[in-house]
Amino acid sequence: MKFNSKLIHGGISEDPTTGAVSMPIYRASTFHQQIVGGTPTWEYSRSGNPTRQALEQLVADLEQGIAGFAFASGSAAIHATLSMYSAGDHLVVGNDVYGGTFRLINKVMKRFGLEFTVVDMQDLAAVESAIQTNTVAIYFETPTNPLLQIADIAAIAAIAKKHQVQTIVDNTFATPYNQNPLVLGADVVVHSATKYLGGHSDLVAGLAITNDEKIAEELAFLQNSIGSVLGPDDSWLLQRGIKTLGARMRVHHENTATLVKLLKQDARVAKIYYPGDPDFAGYQVAKKQMNHFGAMISFELAAGLDPKKFIDGLTMISLAESLGGIESLIEIPAIMTHGAIPREIRLENGIQDELIRLSVGIEDEADLVADVTNGLNNL
Ligand SMILES: *Cc1c(COP(=O)(O)O)cnc(C)c1O
């Protein structure tokens, strides 16, 4: 089955007992066991729930893994994944990971004795030389947030295999529609399904998917032991959102191409960050490993122009954190999503005060063009 059909018919797409074409929401916490000491399929909903399982099999199919696990948030999925490791283990981590992931690593996992080295994942030599005798995994995102830097998944996974360490990729920005890290050699894919997979800004959820039997067993154990599972209502809502991922992404991409063109030719925009722009540093690698380049754009205004004025000029696009929903969202990383990073470090990492991040929605292209023009004309 091709990807767009899998979105709708993959995993368990209908109720096996009634044929209902939408998987029912099984709210039961526990299940009647027919005999003492049997091996029932369903026992208790933390350990397994039919609605959650339908979603988990679907996402395993979409990422071409053997098992998927649904969590209460992307952060919970990342926490459970990092819980595979033990005190004294070392991980190499991308220097441009999601702020919450950075916080989880530095303020939580370090307390339990995990060690981390932060590296620019575009620099393969630096990645390899960061590997120590106690390294167990390499963890990164591609494209990154907000600079949309591209890491070469196949090349990094090859380095990892050579040193017998695992590769974990946060595939939130690309989505399985655009990129399948497991196929490129990664061992685990994590997602904040809060973003494109849910797609409607009405849900917080996370996923971990693997193609390795042993890791699958470990993640099942951790999901049940830690207990940060996704509830049946949200599992259903996420499965519903995923069904339209293909239709949504096609419009996201169309609108993004138009806006990239508009921004690129305007003198008030100094620099544009978009993996699909042939002038962008990561373009060649992105072209090699992604089916399409996604719908996140970052851009810098020309020196002296105030990003707040740009945003004040908008009438339709909403000022908000988060991304990946049907509605276009815009933000200034320096004072919003990345405001907690000290200014010197932020500038060192390439995040200028003038940087604007735009999550392009699926509104009418003409309205988006008009609104971005409003913003530019307000400068
Ligand atoms: C939002 C996000 C997360 C965290 O997910 P939550 O669902 O908010 O917990 C992790 N990684 C990336 C890339 C994200 O954008």
Distance 74 CA to ligand 1 centre (A): 5
Q: Is 294 in the pocket of ligand 1 (CB under 6 A)?
A: no
Asked whether residue 184 falls in the same domain as residue 239, the answer is yes
CATH number at 116 reads 3.40.640.10
Domain boundary among 200, 215, 243: 243
Out of 71, 192, 322, give the residue to mutate to test ligand 1, the one with the largest number of ligand atoms within 8 Å of its CB.
192
pLDDT tens across 310-338, in order? Answer: 999 999 999 999 999 999 999 999 889 88
Side-chain-side CA neighbours of 276 within 13 Å: the count stands at 19
Q: Determine which residue's CA is closest to atom 7 belonging to ligand 1.
A: 74
With tokens 């540093």, the residue in question is: 281
* Peptide linkage before 40 cis (omega within 30 of 0): no
Q: Determine which residue's CA is closest to atom 2 belonging to ligand 1.
A: 192
CB 330 within 8 A of CB 317: yes
Please give the positions annotated as active site: 46, 98, 170, 195
Alpha helices in the chain (DSSP H): 3-9, 50-62, 74-82, 99-103, 124-129, 153-162, 175-178, 213-226, 232-243, 245-264, 283-289, 307-312, 343-348, 365-377
CA–centroid distance for 196 within its chain:
8
Asked whether residue 294 falls in the same domain as residue 152, the answer is no
pLDDT tens across 95-118, in order? Answer: 989 889 999 999 999 999 999 999
From the list 77, 107, 283, the residue with the least C-alpha distance to 171 is 77
* Peptide linkage before 143 cis (omega within 30 of 0): yes
- Taking the model in full, what pTM does it have? 0.97
Side-chain-side CA neighbours of 193 within 13 Å: the count stands at 33
Distance 39 CA to ligand 1 centre (A): 36
Residues, the chain, total?
A: 379
- For the chain, the domain total comes to 2
- Torsion angles phi and psi, residue 20, rounded to 5: -50, 130
The ligand 1 atom nearest the CA atom of 193? 7
Asked whether residue 303 falls in the same domain as residue 368, the answer is yes
Residue 20 DSSP one-character state: -
What residues contact residue 306 under an 8 Å CB cut-off, 6+ apart?
379
Distance 94 CA to ligand 1 centre (A): 15
Token pair recorded at residue 362: 């699926």
Asked whether residue 210 falls in the same domain as residue 303, the answer is no
CATH number at 250 reads 3.90.1150.10
Dihedral (Cα; 251, 257, 258, 261), 10-degree rounding: 170
pLDDT tens across 168-214, in order? Answer: 999 999 999 999 999 999 999 999 999 999 999 999 999 999 999 99
- Torsion angles phi and psi, residue 206, rounded to 5: -140, 160
The mean per-residue pLDDT over the stretch 54-73 comes to 98
- The boundaries of the domain holding residue 265 are 245-377
pLDDT tens across 355-374, in order? Answer: 999 999 999 999 999 999 99
Domain boundary among 217, 243, 269: 243
Dihedral (Cα; 265, 271, 274, 279), 10-degree rounding: 80
Q: Is 141 in the pocket of ligand 1 (CB under 6 A)?
A: yes
Residue 193 DSSP SS3: coil
Out of 195, 234, 338, 359, give the residue to mutate to test ligand 1, the one with the largest number of ligand atoms within 8 Å of its CB.
195
